[in-house]
Amino acid sequence: MKVTQAEINSFTEVLYAKYGFDFTCYEPQSLNRRVNRVLHVLGYNTIHDLWTDMLQKPSLVYKFMDEVSVGLTAMFRDPVMWSRLRSVLYNEFKSKQNLNIWIAGCSTGEEVYTLAIVLYEMGMLHQTRILATDMNHTALEVARSGVYHELKIVDYEKNYTEYNKFGTFSRYFKRNAPHVMMRPDLLSNTTFKYHNLVTDKIDQDFDLIFCRNVMIYFDADTKSKLVKNFHRNINDNGYLITGFFDSIFCEENQRLFNSELSGFRMFKKSPAMIINRTNLSA
Ligand SMILES: C[S@@+](CC[C@H](N)C(=O)[O-])C[C@H]1O[C@@H](n2cnc3c(N)ncnc32)[C@H](O)[C@@H]1O
């Protein structure tokens, strides 16, 4: 089964026109790979068959969205970044009473638990509010449940030990083979919410915004708009934190962030210019 680019383009256009879900700004090759995978998973031979079923069963659109956006994640992914973040939090935000953090594209929640553990160990969790968003409903449900397979936890524990060789990762979950359940109190200041980065606005300001391994999905123009929107949502002295493979800077938005910690993919806001908050889709 091989879907052509022309078929994908028509499909994303009708999907947008009929249901308002915008995939037209996704990077074509990656979207092509993903759509082919989804057809395989959902048991369709052609994109036309999928579309015909979608017209009769609109709930299939959500299934498609969830499958197309499914993404890899892990706790304490890139342990060096988390160590560096600990220093930034300690040096720049320890005395801030209300720390606001947005994790955009939180997937199944591993990054959220990681951040909560980092803050908890620093004695900063109580002073922090975390908003965790994604456009994948199924992933958000897993994130809310805090239940993960124990085989994944083995890897997460290795990452954690790299981050904190004196810590005990097992204190953060309860075993219920073959799963573990994360300690619910880690999320007492966290809100999970459905949010599409391409079409939805957030009217709130944050000290830190994480958007790791999400922008790789988007074309250059969309990435640039997202980075501008993040700049608007970040308080002065706040940070945007991206993944190692997210290249966010085009010439136009280079002056929005200071690149001093770019090796760790942490970009401090430079109050370069005031931009009005607008809807990305506008
Ligand atoms: C590879 S995962 C990254 C998870 C986590 N940030 C990390 O780095 O471990 C990418 C996530 O981006 C989400 N995503 C993709 N497009 C999105 C959009 N337009 N709005 C919000 N989330 C999106 C996917 O649903 C997926 O959960």
If the chain, 282 residues long, is cut into consecutive pieces of 10 residues, what is the mean pLDDT of each piece?
86 87 83 90 92 90 84 90 96 96 97 98 98 95 96 94 97 96 97 96 96 89 92 94 80 78 87 54 44
Residue 76 Rama label (left phi>0; alpha psi -120 to 50; beta): left
- Which residue CA neighbors atom 13 of ligand 1 most closely? 105
Output the CA 216–ligand 1 centroid distance in Å: 9
Ligand 1 proximity of 159 Cβ (cutoff 6 Å): no
**pTM for the complete prediction?**
0.87
| C-beta atoms surrounding 9 within 10 Å | 14
What number of other Cβ atoms are within 10 A of residue 176's Cβ? Answer: 10
pLDDT computed for residue 202 by the predictor: 94
| Partners of residue 133 on adjacent β-strands | 104, 193
Cα 142 to middle of ligand 1, angstroms: 14
Residue 101's pLDDT is what? 98
For residue 202, report the distance from its CA to the centre of ligand 1, in Å.
16
Q: What is the 104 CA–ligand 1 centroid distance (Å)?
A: 7
CA 38/CA 277 separation, integer angstroms: 35
Distance, in Å, from the CA atom of 67 to the CA atom of 161, rounded to the nearest integer, reads 32
Q: How far lies 126's CA from each of 55, 132, 173, 237, in Å? A: 47, 17, 19, 21
Please determine, looking at this structure, whether the domain spanning 79-269 carries the CATH number 3.30.450.20: no
Token output for 49: 């068959």
> 209 near 230, Cβ under 8 Å?
yes
Cβ–Cβ under 8 Å, residues 49 and 200: no
Domain ranges of the chain: 5-69, 79-269
pLDDT at position 198 is: 92
Structure tokens at 6: 């022309």
Q: How far is the CA of 214 from the centre of ligand 1 (A)?
A: 5
CA-nearest residue for atom 9, ligand 1, is 73
Residue 113: closest CA among 164, 69, 64, 73: 73
Largest CA distance in the chain: 57
Question: 106 C-alpha to center of ligand 1: Å?
Answer: 6
Q: How, if at all, do strands 128-134 and 99-104 pair?
A: parallel
C-alpha 77/C-alpha 89 separation (Å) is 18
Instruction: Give residue 27's pLDDT.
Output: 85
For residue 201, count CB atoms less than 10 angstroms from its CB and return exposed for 0-12, middle for 13-18, buried for 19 or more.
Answer: middle
Residue 81 CB neighbours (<10 A) = 21
Strands 99-104 and 206-211: parallel
Which amino acid residue places its CA nearest to atom 3 of ligand 1? Answer: 213
Work out which ligand 1 atom sits closest to the CA atom of 195: 21
Residue 132 CB–ligand 1 contact under 6 Å: no
Nearest residue (CA) to ligand 1, atom 1: 71
CA of 63 from ligand 1 middle (Å) equals 16
72 lines ligand 1 (CB under 6 A): yes
Q: Is the dihedral of CA 102, 105, 107, 110 positive or negative?
A: negative
Residue 282: predicted pLDDT = 42
Q: What is the pLDDT of residue 281?
A: 47
41/19 Cα distance (integer angstroms): 22
47 Cβ contact list (under 8 Å, min separation 6):
3, 7, 8, 11, 35, 39
CB 218 within 8 A of CB 25: yes
Q: Is the CB of 139 under 6 A from ligand 1?
A: yes
Q: Is the CB of 135 under 6 A from ligand 1?
A: yes
Residue 51 parent element (H or E): helix 47-56
Whole-number Å distance, alpha carbon 265 to ligand 1 midpoint, is 17
For residue 9, the SS3 value is: helix
